[in-house]
Amino acid sequence: MTHASKAANQPDSSPANPKALYGGTSSRRVTVRDIAAAKGRGEKWPMLTAYDAMTASVFDESGIPVLLVGDSMGNCHLGYESTVPVTMDEIALLSAAVVRGTKRALIVGDLPFGSYQEGAVQALRNATRLVKEAGVGAVKLEGGERSADQIDLLVRSGIPVMAHIGLTPQSVNAYGGYPVQGRGEEAAQQLLRDAKAVQDAGAFSVVLELVPAELAAEVTRTLHIPTVGIGAGQECDAQVLVWTDMAGMTAGRVPRFVKQYAQLREVLGDAAKSFADDVVGGLYPAEEHAFH
Ligand code: KIV
């Protein structure tokens, strides 16, 4: 594992904490207790989405401690226009693949739209399916106060829950888009109430999506569970990105909060064109690729 970017930003000769979520030496699966301990140490950590075993294995080998099998698979993997059509069958299938492809990361399976809104019992039935069938270590669901009953029952039943407040993409039809949340005093107070509600219900962490940085910082200071920011500024305890955005695989424009660390779409496209050119030009297969 390399820490080149960290080394470049902050020359630090002290050895990495062996317990660190990223850069630590433990090879066993990360647990929600490890996540809680990281907040106690003031340690920041990265999370990425993953939707298949091979990509997940790359992130796992890179030391990413938490992988989310997000319902963003709708837009990024399954060709839907939003997360809304994603089904339990799809999440279960891809979560199982991500679990199989990894050894260390905590795998969080997303509960898709329609799989928990009816109430706590429906949430428990579907979350149980992800834990038993796919082998995830935790589930995620959207909503603050409105999802507190669901979180409470899951946690009391032994299923760790990552909450998700601020912009909740499953409500895209109600929002009419993907607007920044928590702007203005009333909305900010509601976000704080949502954050406290999910913590009180027993969530082990909470995603803050598209929230003003100052408000996300206040939530992070207020809660004892870690906040996982996406478009929520620098002060969150963790940061998550959709992997196809992070690696430059997504077609077209990405949201302003995304930083792209590679241009995979171009790299893959160039590889495909080189292969095609070689086939058309009779250069592939060459003698060394043939059997005799
Ligand atoms: O589905 C997803 O990928 C998510 C993240 C953006 C947090 O919910």
Summarised one tens digit per residue, pLDDT across range 29-62 is 999 999 999 999 999 999 999 999 999 999 999 9
Ligand 1 atom, smallest distance to 83 CA? 1
Ligand 1 atom, smallest distance to 70 CA? 1
DSSP single-letter state for residue 78: S
User: 132 pLDDT exceeds 60?
Assistant: yes
> Is the C-beta atom of 170 inside 6 A of ligand 1?
no
Q: What number is the average pLDDT over the span 228-242? A: 98
* 111 Cα: distance to centroid of ligand 1 (angstroms): 11
Buried b (16+ CB within 10 A) or exposed e, 138-157: bbbbbbbbebbebbbbbeee
pTM: 0.94
> Is the C-beta atom of 249 inside 6 A of ligand 1?
no
CB 141 within 8 Å of CB 111: yes
Q: Are residues 160 and 225 in the same domain?
A: yes
Q: Are residues 153 and 279 in the same domain?
A: no
CB 257 within 8 Å of CB 241: no
CB 205 within 8 Å of CB 36: no
Other C-beta atoms closer than 10 Å to the C-beta of 264 total: 16
Give the tens place of pLDDT for each residue, 164-185: 999 999 999 999 999 999 999 9
Other C-beta atoms closer than 10 Å to the C-beta of 100 total: 14
For a mutational test of ligand 1's pocket, the pick from 72, 136, 258, i.e. the residue with the most ligand atoms closer than 8 A to its C-beta, is 72
Name the pLDDT band for 17 (thresholds 50, 70, 90).
confident
Hey, whose CA ends up nearest to atom 1 of ligand 1? 70
For a mutational test of ligand 1's pocket, the pick from 64, 67, 69, 71, i.e. the residue with the most ligand atoms closer than 8 A to its C-beta, is 71
Q: Are residues 79 and 184 in the same domain?
A: yes
For a mutational test of ligand 1's pocket, the pick from 76, 140, 170, 206, i.e. the residue with the most ligand atoms closer than 8 A to its C-beta, is 140
- Percent pLDDT > 90 in the chain is 93
User: 6 pLDDT exceeds 80?
Assistant: no
Which pLDDT value is given to residue 43? Answer: 97
Strands (DSSP E) found in 179-257: 205-209, 227-230, 238-241
User: 3 pLDDT exceeds 50?
Assistant: no
**Could you give the count of Cα atoms lying within 13 Å of 61 in the half-sphere of its Cβ?**
7
Of 35, 65, 34, the closest CA to residue 48 belongs to 65
Give the tens place of pLDDT for each residue, 48-103: 999 999 999 999 999 999 999 999 999 999 999 999 999 999 999 999 999 999 99
Dihedral over alpha carbons 98, 101, 106, 110 (to 10 degrees): 0
Q: Are residues 39 and 160 in the same domain?
A: yes
CB 150 within 8 Å of CB 123: yes
Quick one: CA dihedral 13, 19, 21, 26, positive or negative? Answer: positive
Distance CA 4, CA 156 (A): 41
Q: Are residues 12 and 97 in the same domain?
A: yes
* 185 Cα: distance to centroid of ligand 1 (angstroms): 26
State the DSSP string of 165-204. Answer: EES-GGGHHHHTS------SHHHHHHHHHHHHHHHHHT-S
* 124 Cα: distance to centroid of ligand 1 (angstroms): 20
Give the tens place of pLDDT for each residue, 188-214: 999 999 999 999 999 999 999 999 999
Indicate if 209 belongs to the active site: yes
Ligand 1 atom, smallest distance to 72 CA? 1
> Regarding predicted confidence, which is higher, 191 or 11?
191
Q: Are residues 269 and 156 in the same domain?
A: no
Q: Are residues 233 and 127 in the same domain?
A: yes
Which pLDDT value is given to residue 102? Answer: 98
Distance CA 105, CA 56 (A): 9
Of 7-11, 250-254, 286-290, the range with the lowest mean pLDDT is 7-11
Count structural domains, the chain.
Answer: 2
Q: Are residues 228 and 242 in the same domain?
A: yes
Q: Are residues 167 and 211 in the same domain?
A: yes
Of 56, 152, 151, 162, the closest CA to residue 104 belongs to 56
Token pair in block for residue 89:
């069958």
List phi, psi (to 5°) of 165.
-130, 180
Q: Are residues 178 and 237 in the same domain?
A: yes
Which pLDDT value is given to residue 16? Answer: 75
Which pLDDT value is given to residue 14? Answer: 59
> Is the C-beta atom of 49 inside 6 A of ligand 1?
yes
User: 4 pLDDT exceeds 90?
Assistant: no
Ligand 1 atom, smallest distance to 49 CA? 3
Q: Are residues 129 and 142 in the same domain?
A: yes
Q: Are residues 169 and 292 in the same domain?
A: no
Distance of CA 119 to the CA centre of its chain: 24
Residue numbers of the domain that contains 289: 264-292
